[in-house]
Chains A and B, each alone.
Chain A
Amino acid sequence: MNTFKLVNREIFRRKVNYLIGFAIVAITTAIVIGTLSLLKIHDLQTAQILAQKEAELNERVLVLQDDYRKISLELGFNLLIIPEGQNLGNFYADDFASKYMDESVTDKLVSSRTLTIQHLLPSLTQKIVWPEQKQSIILIGTKGEVPYLYRNPKKPMLQPVPDGGMVLGYELHRILNLKEGSKVKLLGREFTITKCNERRGSKDDATVWIPLKDAQELLNKEGKINAILALKCHCASGTLTNIIQSVKELIPNVQVLQKNKEVAIRAKARDRAKREAKEALKAEELSRTELKNEQLRFAKVLIPLVIITGAFMICLTFIANVKSRQDEIGILRTIGTKQHTILIMFLMKSILIAIPAAVTGYLIGIFTSTISVENFELSELFGTFALIITICLAGLISTAASWLPALYASLQDPAKIIQD
């Protein structure tokens, strides 16, 4: 005979008392685990929903991108027309052509019946040293937009530089300390500064724009240009190849390059669509977080309350058990059982109640929490570590709750009990 055997016999032969304790611990554990499982389910669902939404939004982004691509196609293509024979390596390196073409080619484009170009910007560009200011500059002679007066006039995209006027890039007017309205000389010709540009962070900051005619004269390139920017080009067939073909048919001695305007539109479209998707995801996440916080607030009240109630009921059960075992405690003490053995006897019982009850409560808690949730596997919630923690905590709380009754039992005076 030993204490463990004695406790087992008592449990086996006084089942009701044991079952009451078992039920209290199991129900308490089930409520706590059920509540925690619901919170976990919420988290898992949130992850699922967000993943699903992200996938949906990614799909939407693709659709949007396609839409924007189509729209940009409808907007037409942007072309850069440079002279034939221009070494493209040098062109890309210098960003302007070293070869020239007649300015009259623009008129051919304007008069085309098969090709529609919304904006035409002929220019003459050269890198020179501004002798009067001893400053390297990119000089662009521009005519601004060639008007389609007899077709569908559009508002000019670029304001032409007025006759006798000059537009300065940011670095130039900053370094040279030049202001709008000032008069300056370039290659011996006087210009009035009509505009000082803001910083653009590109070669534009080192560029001087003057009227095309002035540039042609100053650079000794009368009637010549080295680039035409053709924006929003359309033709009947609508494809880029066909448009380039049409241009080349109109003006054979040129090279036609596609400008990256369309790419920029697409990139912007993609970015915008992505941003919208991220914002929608954030909103969903925020709403789920708020819901979770609400549930957490509820759980923070419910769980301690249930544990305290359970512990209190276990304490009452043990008080009843101690009361009903007075005679037994008296005789055990009389035959020499030490006080701490009596204490251990009751605490051992509380642990023997808590362990199986905690396992039962854990399983009930998980099972009941998934009843109302669809597409959820029990295995997603079950965790061996969580089960061990549950058993330990249930054992600890149960032991703590039965401590006072057990202590009371151990301090009983055997002489008094036997005498009574």
Chain B
Amino acid sequence: MLKVENITKFYQKGSTKITAINDLSLTLNKGEFIAIKGESGSGKTSLLHTIGGLLRPDEGTILINKHDVYSLNKNERAAFRAEQIGFVFQQFHLIPYLTVSENIAAPLIAKKLKIGSRVDELIEKFGLSERKNHLPKELSAGEKQRTALARALLFNPQILLADEVTGNLDPGNSELVLDSLREFSDNGGIVILVTHDESAASKADKTMTISNGILS
């Protein structure tokens, strides 16, 4: 279960203090898939990063399975993140000099877990068999995003945080990726999808809007 309790996050821009997240609370149970919509600068990415343990809130707590994420030190939080949280981004963020299969296996650098033939399963599942030895620069946008998604799912995390994942994809690949998120959720995972895309949001169980750091 994910419990976000009264989190607030400020940014300092020059002498101006900007409130990115304003006393936001949210509770998500296993298998929930929500979409968060909002304009640029509304605080959606900040919320995603805060939930993902990357951005410490100024106030409030994030509880994942009753673990206060920010009570952990940096290394413990990194280990927790590696095992419990998957990230997928609009810009894919693949490691340019690693092949598809190596990129999918990259989380093993962070945490040594026994995964058996998990990499091959994911390659198969996301239709990347033909491309597994290719570098990211040799892939299409859809293949890149599928690779990024496979990487996020390597350790079967509890939570999947997806930031505009269909933003650079054609409809076919968008569908494939959203279906994968749906499947992940159906298997008991929590999905938070940040998107502008109505059709993408429609795949979620619930759509919320964030504006000026307030979720509604």
CB under 8 Å from chain A, chain B span 62-82: 74-75, 78-82
Task: Determine if A335 and B110 form an interchain contact, defined as CB atoms under 8 angstroms apart.
Answer: yes
Is B107 part of the contact surface with A, judged by Cβ < 8 Å?
yes
Task: Determine if A336 and B49 form an interchain contact, defined as CB atoms under 8 angstroms apart.
Answer: no
* Contacting residue for B108 out of A2, A14, A328, A340, CB 8 A: A2
A3 to B108, CA, bound (A): 9
* Contacting residue for B110 out of A5, A12, A14, A332, CB 8 A: A332
Given contacts A9-B98, A327-B93, A419-B45, contact A334 B107 (CB under 8 A): no
Task: Determine if B109 and A2 form an interchain contact, defined as CB atoms under 8 angstroms apart.
Answer: yes
Is B214 part of the contact surface with A, judged by Cβ < 8 Å?
no
- Residues of chain A within 8 A of B81, CB atoms compared: 334-336
Is B31 part of the contact surface with A, judged by Cβ < 8 Å?
no
* Contacting residue for A334 out of B93, B94, B102, B109, CB 8 A: B93
Task: Determine if A6 and B98 form an interchain contact, defined as CB atoms under 8 angstroms apart.
Answer: yes
- Residues of chain B within 8 A of A337, CB atoms compared: 78, 82, 109-110
Task: Determine if B106 and A1 form an interchain contact, defined as CB atoms under 8 angstroms apart.
Answer: yes
A3 to B98, CA, bound (A): 12
With a 10 A CB-CB cut-off, give which of A14, A330, A419 has the most chain B CB atoms.
Answer: A419
Task: Determine if A335 and B87 form an interchain contact, defined as CB atoms under 8 angstroms apart.
Answer: yes
Is A331 part of the contact surface with B, judged by Cβ < 8 Å?
yes
Is A414 part of the contact surface with B, judged by Cβ < 8 Å?
yes
B95-120 to A contact mask, C-beta < 8 Å, 1/0: 11110001001111111000000000
Task: Determine if A335 and B54 form an interchain contact, defined as CB atoms under 8 angstroms apart.
Answer: no
With a 10 A CB-CB cut-off, give which of A330, A332, A334, A338 has the most chain B CB atoms.
Answer: A334
Shortest distance from the beta carbon of A344 to any chain B beta carbon, whole Å: 10
Chain A contact-residue range equals 20 to 34
Is B52 part of the contact surface with A, judged by Cβ < 8 Å?
yes
Shortest distance from the beta carbon of B49 to any chain A beta carbon, whole Å: 4
Chain B contact-residue range equals 20 to 34
* Contacting residue for B111 out of A9, A10, A14, A336, CB 8 A: A336
* Contacting residue for B106 out of A14, A335, A415, CB 8 A: A335
Q: Chain B: which residue is nearest A324 at the CB level?
A: B96
Task: Determine if B102 and A9 form an interchain contact, defined as CB atoms under 8 angstroms apart.
Answer: yes
Is A151 part of the contact surface with B, judged by Cβ < 8 Å?
no
Is A72 part of the contact surface with B, judged by Cβ < 8 Å?
no
Shortest distance from the beta carbon of B215 to any chain A beta carbon, whole Å: 19
With a 10 A CB-CB cut-off, give which of B55, B79, B81, B110 has the most chain A CB atoms.
Answer: B110
Task: Determine if B75 and A13 form an interchain contact, defined as CB atoms under 8 angstroms apart.
Answer: no
Main secondary structure of the interface of B (DSSP, over half): helix
Main secondary structure of the interface of A (DSSP, over half): helix
CB under 8 Å from chain B, chain A span 317-345: 327-328, 330-341
CB under 8 Å from chain B, chain A span 1-26: 1-3, 5-6, 9-10, 12-14
Shortest distance from the beta carbon of B125 to any chain A beta carbon, whole Å: 19
Is A302 part of the contact surface with B, judged by Cβ < 8 Å?
no
A10 to B109, CA, bound (A): 14
Given contacts A9-B102, A419-B49, contact A336 B107 (CB under 8 A): yes
Task: Determine if B75 and A1 form an interchain contact, defined as CB atoms under 8 angstroms apart.
Answer: no
A414 to B98, CA, bound (A): 20
Given contacts A1-B105, A2-B109, A9-B102, contact A336 B93 (CB under 8 A): no
Given contacts A338-B79, A415-B49, A418-B54, contact A331 B108 (CB under 8 A): no
A332 to B109, CA, bound (A): 8
Is B182 part of the contact surface with A, judged by Cβ < 8 Å?
no
Task: Determine if B79 and A415 form an interchain contact, defined as CB atoms under 8 angstroms apart.
Answer: no
- Residues of chain A within 8 A of B75, CB atoms compared: 338-340
A74 to B135, CA, bound (A): 99
Is B151 part of the contact surface with A, judged by Cβ < 8 Å?
yes
Shortest distance from the beta carbon of A18 to any chain B beta carbon, whole Å: 11
- Residues of chain B within 8 A of A415, CB atoms compared: 49, 54-55
Task: Determine if B78 and A418 form an interchain contact, defined as CB atoms under 8 angstroms apart.
Answer: no
Shortest distance from the beta carbon of B91 to any chain A beta carbon, whole Å: 8
Q: Chain B: which residue is nearest A334 at the CB level?
A: B87
Task: Determine if A330 and B93 form an interchain contact, defined as CB atoms under 8 angstroms apart.
Answer: yes
A418 to B89, CA, bound (A): 9
CB under 8 Å from chain A, chain B span 132-172: 135, 151
Shortest distance from the beta carbon of A336 to any chain B beta carbon, whole Å: 2
- Residues of chain A within 8 A of B80, CB atoms compared: 336
- Residues of chain A within 8 A of B95, CB atoms compared: 6, 328, 331-332
A177 to B111, CA, bound (A): 108
- Pick 22 A–B contacts, CB within 8 A, sort by A: A1-B102, A1-B106, A6-B98, A12-B97, A13-B96, A13-B135, A332-B95, A332-B110, A333-B78, A335-B87, A335-B110, A336-B80, A336-B81, A336-B107, A337-B110, A338-B75, A338-B110, A339-B75, A340-B75, A414-B54, A418-B49, A418-B93
The 7 closest A-B pairs by CB, nearest first: A336-B82, A336-B110, A13-B97, A415-B54, A1-B105, A331-B93, A337-B110
Q: Which residues of A contact B (CB under 8 A)?
A: 1-3, 5-6, 9-10, 12-14, 327-328, 330-341, 414-415, 418-419
